[in-house]
């Protein structure tokens, strides 16, 4: 995996996980993997998030672990040092973009407008996160921009459910969808595995 485009091909669903309990990180990663989802985005939203990235990177080597909710350049280095193999940002600033590009790991920068997407494309980035997907126009929006921006592929995230995912995945400019629904059950790892199995079938 060397680019954001490769990231979009790892699984039909990118599980977005908020880890509150550090001890949950490894069992969640193992459950997703057992269900056929080999990628996990651990959001940097809780005090244990970086430690969670480190644990999954060390203890579940077959899982491609990345850091999400990367909003500042300092977090780029912290995440990569912890073992993140990719980064996801909800939006983008120039300093964040520079840091992410310098990091050498693939990343999905967030965009929710045509101009934001065009600016990122000017920097050579063709795989983007579309966030917040549902609130920004959802399937209809992505359909509308496929014509003018044919070179771009998106991972729409934000408000997507098991029910709406297939409609997004049917769009030509969608590579995968992001969502927290696979791991909403938190400590119920059998349920995480079951939902992962369902999500893996969407590919
Ligand atoms: O933290 C980030 O970087 C984000 O982009 C937000 C997440 O993508 C959403 O929280 C996931 O959305 P839901 O599936 O609606 O829960």
The tens-digit pLDDT sequence of the chain (203 residues) is: 789 999 999 999 999 999 999 999 999 999 999 999 999 999 999 999 999 999 999 999 999 999 999 999 999 999 999 999 999 999 999 999 999 999 999 999 999 999 999 999 999 999 999 999 999 999 999 999 999 999 999 999 999 999 999 999 999 999 999 999 999 987 999 999 999 999 999 98
Nearest to 88 by CA among 192, 16, 160, 190: 16
Nearest to 183 by CA among 8, 50, 21, 9: 21
- The finding on whether 90 has its CB within 6 A of some atom of ligand 1 is yes
- The finding on whether 178 has its CB within 6 A of some atom of ligand 1 is yes
Q: Which domains are present in the chain? A: 4-200 (3.20.20.70)
Shortest-distance atom of ligand 1 to CA 43: 1
Q: What is the pTM of this model?
A: 0.97
């Amino acid at each position: 995996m060397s680019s954001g485009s490769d990231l979009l091909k790892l699984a039909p669903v990118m599980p977005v996980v908020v880890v509150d309990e550090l001890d949950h990180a490894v069992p969640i990663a193992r459950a997703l993997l057992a269900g056929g989802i080999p990628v996990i985005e651990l959001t940097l939203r809780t005090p244990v998030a970086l430690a969670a990235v480190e644990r999954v990177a060390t203890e579940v080597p077959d899982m491609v672990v990345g850091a999400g909710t990367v909003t500042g350049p300092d977090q780029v280095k912290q995440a990569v040092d912890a073992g993140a193999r990719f980064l996801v940002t909800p939006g983008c600033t120039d300093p964040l973009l520079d840091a992410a590009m310098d990091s050498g790991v693939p990343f999905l920068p967030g965009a929710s407008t045509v101009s934001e997407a065009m600016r990122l494309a000017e920097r050579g980035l063709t795989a983007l996160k579309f966030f917040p997907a549902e609130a920004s126009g959802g399937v209809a929006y992505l359909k509308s921009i496929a014509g003018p921006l044919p070179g771009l592929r998106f991972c729409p995230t934000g408000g997507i459910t098991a029910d709406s995912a297939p409609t997004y995945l049917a769009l030509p400019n969608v590579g995968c969808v992001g969502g927290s629904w696979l791991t909403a059950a938190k400590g119920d790892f059998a349920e995480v595995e079951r939902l992962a199995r369902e999500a893996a079938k969407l590919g």
